[in-house]
Amino acid sequence: MSGSSDILSILLEQVDRLLTQHATKEVLAEAEHGTWPATLWNALAEAGLSLAMVPEEQGGSGLPPADAMLLLRRVGYHCTPAPLAETMLAAYLWAKAGGKPSVEPLSLAPTNVEEQIRLLHTAHGASLAGQARRVPWGRDVSKLIVFARDEQNRSYLVCASHPLGEGPFHRNLAFEPRPTISFDGITVAEAEILPAPSICINGVLELGALLRSQQMVGAMERCLDYALTYANERKQFGRPIAKFQAVQHMLAVAAGQYAAATAAADLAAQAVGSQQFGFAVAVAKARVGEAAGVVAEVAHQVHGAMGFTQEHPLHFATRRLWSWRDEFGHEAYWQERIGRIACKTGGANLWPMLVDAQR
Amino acid sequence: MRALQFDPVTLPPEAEEMRRRVRAFLAAERTAGRLVAYRGSWSVFDPDFSQRAGAAGFIGLTLPREYGGHGQSSLVRYVVTEEMLAAGAPCGAHWVADRQSAPQILRYGSERAKREILPRICAGRCYFAIGMSEPDSGSDLAAVRTRAVRTRGGWLINGSKIWTSRAHQVHYLIALVRTGEAGEDRHGGLTQFIIDLSRPGVQIRPIRNIAGRHEFNEVFFTDYFVEDDMMVGKEGQGWSMVTSELSFERSGPDRFLSDYHLLVALIDKVGSMPDRRSAIEIGRLVSHLAALRRMSISIAGLVEKGKMPGVEAALVKDVGTTFEREIPEVARRVITTEPSLEEDDVFVKSLAHVVLEAPSFTIRGGTREILRGMIARALGLR
Ligand SMILES: Cc1cc2nc3c(=O)[nH]c(=O)nc-3n(C[C@H](O)[C@H](O)[C@H](O)COP(=O)(O)OP(=O)(O)OC[C@H]3O[C@@H](n4cnc5c(N)ncnc54)[C@H](O)[C@@H]3O)c2cc1C
């Protein structure tokens, strides 16, 4: 995807530089043991990335969503062990709702289809009820932007600060923290409750799926870079394994999957805020998630035993792919959504619908 | 991994305007019962349809007006082709001429060839076949042995071509033949000629395919005389020309919509309230389709900018034909049936046709393995 401006390409380069410097193998490994990457985070925040999507009048950089999604691909490429994607989106949504964003790390809840957080108005003020499982970086961030509904089923965003109720602590396969957070009995000031903006009137699932799709495209690119380099370096039978046709074809297949995934992710990135977004993001998460499985498999196969070690950094990217494809709805979830739309549309109208969805 | 680029392209307003026109045309064709629901659009050979499409201005869109064309962009042409394919319009007669022969003749042909042939192609009255493959030259196209030798005012051709689709139904073919030494890279000494199939010295022998159909042929040349001005390009330029021709041949929506009609039939068979598993299977195919369409449009955008996206086209064809081959397999997982060509049910009949056609999707126009080799080269592996 080409940047819409020179400023964008400068920004992307800057992000690459920053992450190459700070998201090192050591920092990634320490983060997996629970160490918050403070230096990395401060560098990202100082560069204004946490508020990248927030409009300038509200103190952000006003990066259009489609451009911000390109930035998230770089974040995914570097396997950045911090909630930058979540923060960017949460700050964006909070600002859209009219809230005042801060530069602190943020995350979102709930991230699962089945979960609902209730907003209760009582004589003593407002409070929350409900649990959210697997909240990305739920304990590491200072605040969560929570999607909640009140008794009248109206949608709100609530900015909930720690301390919050703690449930079981899980991590995904990349050892990114995914704790359960309980909101039962958490009281919130009126200023921290805002009507949900139209973009997340039904929750944050779609937007979360958008983030993960972009990050996966980045992580897939990393896998392919590793695999292409390795295939040309590793020699067996007196020649680089890249010269074996079986290896070439595996990588060609992976490149095809990556290209299709990129196209699907572009589709969603460009549809943010439009009528077509629901369909576009379903296509993105379904198609990218499917490609992620293939690319990870091929990357490992090409690396042989070396890729199966902690030593080689491939696993930082592949374990993220295996996690992210299941977060914010796995492929089957989104495929089912698309399938229902297609069947409701009917065979004759499927094509016009597809064309409209891609305008 | 920056080797392959698929930049997003937004279709311009004139392309969307053309979409309205072509949809109106196709709606009338549908009302008249002229669209075939159970066969792939570009595998149905229907000269009457081609003439109506030509008269309506949907053939030769990118060709200049002076040769009967419409002076439109590749993106406008893209829209016409995808709408025709998605509607199941019987495009087989003019397909090759419109897709690859006309652009080749326009770029490299003599003035005579352009004047005599292009306006008829645009009118939907003149059809072409592709004369590349030979008995001993399939994937290894540089091994062609059919030879042209100089004679007074032209060339004499001897040899044979094989798998020549529709040779028995079309007016011309463009043949890739040997006119000189291959040289070290094996790509030298090849030249393309326009062969008029109605002239003496050509003999066409039918070859039946696995479905029992006569679609491709073997074509024999015995002292076939061709004038100098029916040479396409210069002597010895044949290889680079077929390479560019193949990027037209490989990049279009025909490489992922060959059996779109089966997806349509499947959706209608399943109905508006699918069970979960059917919805998942169908949704997966639609997600693939949406991504492929974007990739293909981005290639049309590259062509429009005057680029020759050979490798990108190979990649879209590989991903696209893999998708095409999955549709019948998914369809039969979702709906239990026994396919038969004799059935009246559109789904069952479509499935039967597609199962019998599908093996060719990943062979014709360059096999999957050859395409993957090209992609691997672009990735720096060869
Ligand atoms: C329906 C149909 C229509 C066709 N129409 C036309 C037409 O109109 N005009 C025309 O010129 N041709 C046409 N063809 C021919 C088509 O272009 C060839 O079939 C194709 O290029 C492959 O050549 P081949 O069949 O000789 O297979 P081969 O080249 O013999 O290949 C056989 C198998 O070996 C594999 N293989 C070959 N070389 C390699 C390699 N280097 N590495 C790995 N694997 C390899 C192939 O991928 C394939 O799986 C048509 C084919 C079909 C099926």
Q: What is the CATH number of the domain that holds B363?
A: 1.20.140.10
Range of the domain at B25: 13-126
Identify whether residues B229 and B274 lie together within a single domain: no
How big is the A-B interface in CB pairs under 8 Å?
178
Q: Is the pLDDT of residue A2 over 50?
A: no
Q: How far is CA B61 from CA A71, B118, B137, in A?
A: 39, 11, 33
Is the CB–ligand 1 distance for residue B137 below 6 Å?
A: no
Identify whether residues B282 and B322 lie together within a single domain: yes
**How far away, in angstroms, is B99 Cα from ligand 1 center?**
20
Taking an 8 Å cut-off on Cβ atoms, the answer to whether A264 and B373 are in contact is no
Identify whether residues B142 and B109 lie together within a single domain: no
- Of B191, B214, B239, the position where a domain reaches its end is B239
Taking an 8 Å cut-off on Cβ atoms, the answer to whether A225 and B286 are in contact is no
Going by pLDDT thresholds of 50, 70 and 90, the confidence category of residue A3 is: very low
The span from the CA of A272 to the CA of B151, in Å, is 65
Q: What angle do CA A80, A82, A85 make, to 5 degrees?
A: 85
| Alpha-carbon radius of gyration of chain A | 21
Which of B296, B327, B321, B307 lies closest to B371, judged by CA? B321
Alpha-carbon distance A24 to nearest alpha carbon in chain B (angstroms): 20
Name the 3-class secondary structure at B189. Answer: coil
Nearest chain B residue to A248 by CA distance is B376
The span from the CA of B47 to the CA of B37, in Å, is 18
What does the longest C-alpha to C-alpha distance in chain A come to?
79
Q: What one-character-per-residue DSSP string does B58-125 give?
A: -SSTTS-GGGT-----HHHHHHHHHHHHHHT---TTTHHIIIIIHHHHHHH--HHHHHHHHHHHHTT-
- Of B239, B260, B287, the position where a domain reaches its end is B239
Identify whether residues B172 and B134 lie together within a single domain: yes
Residue whose CB lies within 8 A of the most ligand 1 atoms, among B140, B195, B363, for a mutation test: B363
Residue A129's beta-bridge partner residues?
A118
Residue percentage of chain A with pLDDT more than 90: 94
Taking an 8 Å cut-off on Cβ atoms, the answer to whether B267 and A282 are in contact is no
Taking an 8 Å cut-off on Cβ atoms, the answer to whether A261 and B4 are in contact is no
Judge whether B189 lies within some domain.
yes
Identify whether residues B115 and B190 lie together within a single domain: no
Query: What does the buried/exposed string (b/e) look like for B293-325 if buried means 16 or more CB atoms within 10 Å of the residue's CB?
Result: bbbbbbbbbbbbeeebbbbbbbbbbbbbbbbbb
pLDDT at position B3: 67
A193-221: pLDDT as tens digits: 999 999 999 899 999 999 999 999 999 99
Residues ≥6 apart with Cβ < 8 Å to B71: B62, B63, B64, B65
Taking an 8 Å cut-off on Cβ atoms, the answer to whether A242 and B382 are in contact is yes
- Of B187, B209, B239, the position where a domain reaches its end is B239
pLDDT at position B92: 97
Q: Which domains does chain A have, with CATH numbers?
A: 3-200 (2.40.110.10), 205-357 (1.20.140.10)
Identify whether residues B67 and B44 lie together within a single domain: yes
pLDDT at position A128: 97
For chain B, the distance separating the N- and C-terminal CA atoms, rounded to the nearest angstrom, is 15
Chain B, window 65-104: residues with a beta carbon less than 8 angstroms from a chain A beta carbon: 83, 86-87
Identify whether residues B259 and B355 lie together within a single domain: yes
Mean pLDDT of A38-61: 95
Going by pLDDT thresholds of 50, 70 and 90, the confidence category of residue A6 is: confident
Alpha-carbon distance B251 to nearest alpha carbon in chain A (angstroms): 14
Owner of token pair 């199962």: B355
Is the CB–ligand 1 distance for residue B369 below 6 Å?
A: yes
Alpha-carbon distance B303 to nearest alpha carbon in chain A (angstroms): 17
The span from the CA of B275 to the CA of A23, in Å, is 45
Residues ≥6 apart with Cβ < 8 Å to B309: B247, B251, B299, B302, B303
**How far away, in angstroms, is B366 Cα from ligand 1 center?**
6
Q: Which of A263, A343, A347 is closest, CB to CB, to B295? A: A263
Taking an 8 Å cut-off on Cβ atoms, the answer to whether B280 and A221 are in contact is no
Nearest chain B residue to A259 by CA distance is B6
Cut 0.95: pTM above it: yes
Q: How far is CA B240 from CA A35, A183, B145, B305, B308, in A?
A: 58, 67, 17, 19, 11
Judge whether B244 lies within some domain.
no
Written as tens digits, the pLDDT of chain B (382 aa) is 666 778 889 999 999 999 999 999 999 999 999 998 888 899 999 999 999 999 999 999 999 999 999 999 999 999 999 999 999 999 999 999 999 999 999 999 999 999 999 999 999 999 999 999 999 999 999 999 999 999 999 999 999 999 999 999 999 999 999 999 999 999 999 999 999 999 999 999 999 999 999 999 999 999 999 999 999 999 999 999 998 888 778 879 999 999 999 999 999 999 999 999 999 999 999 999 999 999 999 999 988 888 888 899 999 999 999 999 999 999 999 999 999 999 999 999 999 999 999 999 999 999 999 999 999 999 999 9
Identify whether residues B30 and B141 lie together within a single domain: no
Q: How far is CA A347 from CA A64, A264, B34, in A?
A: 35, 22, 18
Q: Is the pLDDT of residue A132 over 70?
A: yes
Identify whether residues B141 and B102 lie together within a single domain: no
Identify whether residues B260 and B365 lie together within a single domain: yes
Q: Is the pLDDT of residue A4 over 60?
A: no
Judge whether B273 lies within some domain.
yes
Going by pLDDT thresholds of 50, 70 and 90, the confidence category of residue A123 is: confident
Measured between beta carbons, which residues in chain B are less than 8 angstroms from residue A267? 290-291, 294
**How far away, in angstroms, is A336 Cα from ligand 1 center?**
37
Q: Which atom of ligand 1 has the smallest separation from the CA of B166?
A: 8
Identify whether residues B233 and B143 lie together within a single domain: yes
Per the structure, the count of domains in chain B is: 3
The span from the CA of B149 to the CA of B213, in Å, is 35
Token code pair at residue B212:
């029992």
Residue nearest to atom 52 of ligand 1 (CA): B364
Judge whether B8 lies within some domain.
no
**How far away, in angstroms, is A258 Cα from ligand 1 center?**
26
Residue nearest to atom 35 of ligand 1 (CA): B369
**How far away, in angstroms, is B161 Cα from ligand 1 center?**
13
Q: Is the pLDDT of residue A1 over 70?
A: no
Residue B18: CATH number of its domain: 1.10.540.10
Identify whether residues B280 and B358 lie together within a single domain: yes
Q: Please answer whether residues A264 and A209 qualify as being in contact, where contact means their C-beta atoms are separated by less than 8 angstroms.
A: no
The span from the CA of A210 to the CA of A188, in Å, is 29
Token code pair at residue A301:
């196969």
A216-275: pLDDT as tens digits: 999 999 999 999 999 999 999 999 999 999 999 999 999 999 999 999 999 999 999 999
Judge whether B93 lies within some domain.
yes
Which of A309, A325, A132 lies closest to A217, judged by CA? A325
Measured between beta carbons, which residues in chain B are less than 8 angstroms from residue A351? 83, 86-87, 260
**Which ipTM was obtained for this model?**
0.96
Judge whether B245 lies within some domain.
no
Residue whose CB lies within 8 A of the most ligand 1 atoms, among B100, B139, B322, B357, for a mutation test: B139
Taking an 8 Å cut-off on Cβ atoms, the answer to whether B264 and A347 are in contact is yes
Q: Assess B278–A contact: CB distance below 8 Å, yes or no.
A: yes
Token code pair at residue A97:
């709702």
Alpha-carbon distance B71 to nearest alpha carbon in chain A (angstroms): 24
Determine if the peptide bond prior to A163 is cis (ω within 30°): yes
Q: Which long-range contacts (CB under 8 A, 24 or more apart) does A172-175 make?
A: A172/A134, A172/A319, A172/A323, A172/A324, A172/A327, A173/A319, A173/A320, A173/A322, A173/A323, A174/A32, A174/A79, A174/A316, A174/A319, A174/A320, A174/A322, A174/A323, A175/A31, A175/A32, A175/A33, A175/A319
**How far away, in angstroms, is B364 Cα from ligand 1 center?**
6
Is the CB–ligand 1 distance for residue B133 below 6 Å?
A: yes
Residue B201: CATH number of its domain: 2.40.110.10
Taking an 8 Å cut-off on Cβ atoms, the answer to whether B291 and A258 are in contact is no
Is the CB–ligand 1 distance for residue B224 below 6 Å?
A: no
Alpha-carbon distance A267 to nearest alpha carbon in chain B (angstroms): 8
